[in-house]
Each structure stands twice: as structure tokens, then as C-alpha cells.
Amino acid sequence: MAERLGVEGEGETAAEAPSRSIWQYLESAVLLSLLGVGLYYLVPRFIGDREMLSVVRGANFLLVPAALGLETLSMLCVCRLHDLALRAGGESPGFPRVSLVYMSAYAFGHVVPGGNSGTFYLNYRELRREGVPWGLALKAIAAAYLFYSAGMVVLLAAGSLLSLSRGRLPGAYRLAALVVAGGAVLFLAACVFLARRERLLRAMAWHALGAARRLRLFPRLDREEAVERFMEARRYLLSILDDRGAALRLLAYGTGFWLLDMSCLYVVFLALGHPVNPGILMACYAFADIMGSLPLTPAGLGVFEASLGATLYAFGYAKEVVATAVLGFRFFSFWLCTLAGGACYLPCGRRGEGKVPGLEEGGRRCASLLPRELALPRRRWHY
């Protein structure tokens, strides 16, 4: 596919394709700021300033370091997950460098359109600048995404079952919780089953990409090349799954990322003097994270808060307590992590100023898989 793609103009590599002007970054930053101001200003106005202030006055701020520590451990888990995914391929720049790279990508995905696509792109680019082969970088990032997505499914199933421990729940909810938990387990089993059926998976990938091209979702994508890359990623994933110890470690770190993040939310409720049922919190948190993954706002800002607040309120928790806890939690999980990731980009940028051999070819292949807004360079691609 690299031979069939070209870029008008010399001296510009495809890895630099997603370059954005300073005005585009400012536009994203302004949008993010407006969403933040809207949340922290409008929510108290809607819920009630005095009610939320009374909740804050009774808070135990000595638990703030505990919440901060849990959020830090959560981010270290996902960084370790990416490091192990790279080590499974025999090459990693080391946990400290992988942590800097991922945190930088995490912050980047919070302020650009595309969310996870932005995180994927910068993660890939910086790993290439660390000397990781482009094929390994793509497969390791994909494997890490799959394992922490599996962790979210595990959390959803566990939360649905644990929420049943609370009494006085309607029969319809109990049935729905059992269906969701069973569906989550069956979904994971089906994914493992499909991963081990090469012909079936290849046919599904071929037809799915064909449908995407007919819908003009990926007009520049080479179908045969994409299927081959997909099957390579499958083989890489199977090599990890065949090593039971490695697979369990990756799943543990993927689940730990979500579980520690949710624990930070639980500590915030404790700090406010209003503990919640852990099972219900787990189920509501998983649902809110799934809703927040929709590419509607940067990193689900606003969508996550609304989903989490609505579900907890539906379980009977006071709206002023829920609103205060959710906004306080997002201060740790969104704003502080975004600032920390931005700071991590500084050492990555200084080390990655040189041009890496093979970055251009790998960048072309990676760029063809990204959404148009991120993948298109300043100058037009042509066949």
C-alpha cells in the first residue's frame, strides 16, 4: 500500500500528516475550556448552589491524597499494560519511556477531535521515535486497547452482579442485570472464539471493510493490505493469549486501570460523607464510561458526567451529593491527568526530534486507518 500512496510536495512525511496549526490547537483548547466552565458553573446553578456547598463543607479533605494516589496507580496500570504489550513482541523502550509516551498521548486525545484516535496516533508516533518498529507499535497498541476493553467488560459484568446485593430493587432491574452480566461474559467468549477462527475472521474483516468503503468511511484504505494487517494483529494477540501468564497479567492491568479509577470515585463519595454501594457504583461507572467513549465531546467530557449522574440519581442517591462527587472525581481523572500528560510530552518531544528510519512508510500505513480529520495532511494525498 505504501507504494500506491504518494504525497504532493517533497520533504513532508506521512507520519507528519496529522500536523495541526496553532489555531486548531487553540480552538480545541477553547472548546475544552468552555465545556469545563459549563460543567462547573451550570451544574451548581441547575442542582442548587447552596445544596452543593453544604455537601462540600462537610467533606473530609484528608482523603484527597488517597483519591490522588488511586488515580495515579490507575494511570500507571494502563502504562504498564502498554509496556507489557510491547514486551510480548520482544522490544520495549522501557516502562519509564512508555509511561511518558502514553501519558502524552492520553492528554493529546483529550484536546483534539477524534478522542481515542488522537491517543492512538500520538502513541504510535512517539513509540516510533523511540525506535519501536512500526508493525510492533501498531500491534502492541491494538492489543493493549483490546485488553483494557476486556477489563471494562469484566467490570460491567461484575458491577451488574454486585449491584443485586442491594435490597428493594425491582424485578425488572434484577433480570436486566443478570442479562447484562451474562451477555458480557458471552461477548468475551465470542471474541476469543472468533480470534481462533482465522477463515471466519478474515471473511468478516473483508466484508466489513467492503461495507465501510461503500459508505465512504475509508476511501483511501487498501482493502487487501488492511485485512493482512488485521490478521497480523490477530496472530500477535493469539501469541499473547497462548501464554496464559502473560494474558492474565495484561487483563489484570487492564481491569486494574478501570477498577482503581472507579475506586478514586468511591473515595470521593467517602470524603463527602456519603458512601455508595460498590456494586451499584461499579455498574453505573461502567455504563458511564461506555457512553463517554462515544466521539461526541473531547474524552466524553459532559457525556460521562451526565450518564454517571443520571444513573446514580436513578438509584435514589441525592442529586447534590452525586453532582458534587462526580465533578470532584473528574477533577482527578480528567483535568489533573490531562495536565500531567501535557507535562510528559515535553521530555518526549525533546528526545524525538530526530527522524526515525521507516517512520514515513509506517506513518502512511497508520494514517490510512485514522479518521479523515486526523489522517489527512496539509497537502492532499493522491493515488
**Could you state, in chain order, the average pLDDT of each consecutive group of 10 residues for the chain (383 residues)?**
34 41 60 70 80 87 93 94 90 88 86 73 86 88 91 91 82 88 92 88 86 77 82 88 90 93 95 91 91 75 87 90 92 87 74 47 48 39 29
Given the C-alpha cell 501469541, which residue does it identify? 239
- What predicted TM-score, i.e. pTM, was given to this entire model? 0.80
Q: Within 10 Å of residue 129's Cβ, how many Cβ atoms?
A: 20
Q: What is the spatial distance between Cα 58 and Cα 272, in angstroms, rounded to a whole number?
A: 6
* Model pLDDT, residue 302: 79
* Model pLDDT, residue 227: 85
CA-nearest of 76, 381, 110, 111 to 219 is 381
* Model pLDDT, residue 119: 84
Given the C-alpha cell 438509584, which residue does it identify? 315
**Cell digits of residue 163:** 449491584
* Model pLDDT, residue 285: 94
Domain boundaries, the chain: 2-166+249-382
* Model pLDDT, residue 7: 32
Residues paired with residue 381 on neighbouring β-strands, in sequence order = 7
* Model pLDDT, residue 32: 67
| 3-class state of residue 7 by DSSP | strand
Q: What is the spatial distance between Cα 16 and Cα 129, in angstroms, rounded to a whole number?
A: 12
* Model pLDDT, residue 64: 92
Q: Within 10 Å of residue 166's Cβ, how many Cβ atoms?
A: 15
* Model pLDDT, residue 233: 86
CA-nearest of 93, 185, 168 to 130 is 93
CA-nearest of 296, 319, 321 to 59 is 321
